[in-house]
A and B are shown apart, each in its own frame.
Chain A
Amino acid sequence: MNRRLAGVATIAALIVGILISLQIETKRSLDMAEQIQVERLNQISGVLTSLQEENARLLEENNHVTAELNRLRETGDTNPLLAAQLEQLKIQDGTIPVNGLGVKMVITDSGPDLAVLFPINTDDVCNIINILRFAGAEAISVNGQRVVASSSVVLSGNATILINSVPIGRIGATTYEILAIGDPDMLYDYLNRLEVLSLKQAGMRVDLTKEEVTLPSYKGNYYFDYASRTST
């Protein structure tokens, strides 16, 4: 009896010993991982800062050149009718930033107080864009990406949503801000009836408001390497 007890105690002591050493080992490798992590984060934040500086510089240059262009255009002897027509076309092809009356929709599909089974995916984004177009939207943007005719909404890997080949968020970890310019009442009603209810039923938080919005320009390029004007 005593011997059996001693045997059990030995085994228990052994297991405890193994666990303690495992614990120490894990802690050590974790510390190392953490250190690497910190270094990596430092590197990333360095890159981020330089990118942000670059971004600010480019934006300033952009504003400067645009202002200069506008000044020249206005003082030049351009036909105002032609200029207005050009502006309309550029609003349609998305190559200039625009503002005007419209709607802003903010969708939150993840967070501590939300239980969403199926977060926003590429089909939902396509659907919302289509409804806005159906409601006569003149310009649309999703998370800072202007949506033009040739904008595609696709998945990269298994969770990153790309618009215009630029990542706009990860499925289940992003808030979506959708801006559209057009008749505010129509945009609001169509979205409300056709999309908002189902998103809310899926457990998401949706804020839809009519307001004046400003949308960025399309930063991609138009290519016509294969197609050409039909000769008549």
Chain B
Amino acid sequence: MAAILMGTLLKSNLTISAETPYPTGLPGLLQLEIENEGLAAENERLRQELTQLQNSRNVSALAGEQMDAARLNAGQVELTGPGIRVVLDDAVVRESEGYGNYVIHEQYLRQLVNVLWSGGAEAIAVNDQRVTGQTEIFCSGAFIQINGTRQSPPYRIVALGNQSDLRAALQFYFWDKLGYYQQQYGITRELEIPTQHLSVPAAKTRPIRFAAQAREGGT
């Protein structure tokens, strides 16, 4: 009897502690707040554009200005500035077993590019291919396809921006792992932080065939 009673008491104690509710909806809140900030900024920008347009005698001059800005954003302008360069290469000695460990994979390049963007890069190119919103870094067997071109090692990634931010982002996320691969398998990774300026080329124009400006709705 006593044992049964003890058992039930213990059990209900345990279930009580397992049922602790936890706050929900916080990420959604944060997302909404950030979205609001973004919207407010966009509205401000649009309003400025509107005043400019209303005041401007010369509409085509304004259009030209907008065109320049859009070209810059879309990566269609060659840029020069301070930055860093990362060079990756396959291992010289490759064993047939575990061959994949001895080569540079698309994931390494993609991961590096991703990390550099998060570190505030303003422009990135891989083997002189400018990375835009439409750039794929896709492994197709013996080579890696970037912007529809075939690239093979060594891979040179150039990122323009604040050098110490870029380096910090790199070291925070991925650099050590590559260092491990270097030690284990002999692939090479090199980081250069040159004092002279680097350049990234302009992207080639790609026609837009399916997308059009949404007049209403989309936020």
Contacts and interface: CB of A to CB of B under 8 A. Distances in A.
Interface in B24-49: 25-36, 38-43, 46-47, 49
A117 interface: no
Interface residues of A, number: 108
Contacts of A170: 27
Contacts of B218: 97-99, 214-217
Interface in A1-54: 9, 12-13, 15-16, 19-20, 22-23, 26-27, 30, 33-34, 37, 40-41, 44-45, 47-48, 51-52, 54
Given A98-B214, A148-B133, A230-B80, A62 B43 contact: yes
Contacts of A137: 134
B59 A94 contact: no
A148 B75 CA distance: 11
A65 B114 contact: no
B210 A138 contact: yes
A82 B117 contact: no
B110 interface: yes
B42 A219 contact: yes
Contact of B6 (A16, A88, A99): A16
A83 B40 CA distance: 25
Contact of A55 (B2, B39, B60, B160): B39
A118 B213 CA distance: 37
A54 B36 contact: yes
B136 A167 contact: no
A152 B117 contact: yes
A76 to B, nearest CB: 5
Contacts of A88: 207-208
A79 B12 CA distance: 76
Interface in A93-125: 93-102, 123
Contact of B63 (A54, A83, A140, A226): A83
Contact of B39 (A22, A62, A86, A100): A62
Contacts of B79: 224, 227-230
* Contact-size category for B: 35 or more
Interface in A47-94: 47-48, 51-52, 54-55, 58-59, 61-63, 65-66, 68-70, 72-73, 76-79, 82-83, 85-94
B128 to A, nearest CB: 13
A196 interface: no
B36 A23 contact: no
A209 interface: no
B154 to A, nearest CB: 21
Contact of B21 (A37, A58, A62, A66): A37
Given A228-B79, A229-B78, A90 B117 contact: no
A70 B17 CA distance: 59
A178 B39 CA distance: 21
Q: Can you list the 6 inter-chain pairs with the closest CB atoms, starting with the nearest?
A: A219-B38, A97-B218, A93-B73, A152-B118, A89-B70, A227-B81
27 contacts: A13-B2, A22-B13, A23-B9, A26-B16, A30-B20, A44-B23, A51-B29, A62-B39, A69-B49, A79-B63, A89-B74, A91-B213, A92-B132, A92-B134, A93-B74, A102-B210, A126-B111, A138-B208, A151-B133, A152-B114, A166-B35, A169-B27, A216-B219, A221-B41, A224-B79, A229-B72, A229-B79
Interface of A: 9, 12-13, 15-16, 19-20, 22-23, 26-27, 30, 33-34, 37, 40-41, 44-45, 47-48, 51-52, 54-55, 58-59, 61-63, 65-66, 68-70, 72-73, 76-79, 82-83, 85-102, 123, 126, 130-131, 133-134, 136-140, 144, 147-154, 160, 165-170, 181-183, 214-217, 219-231
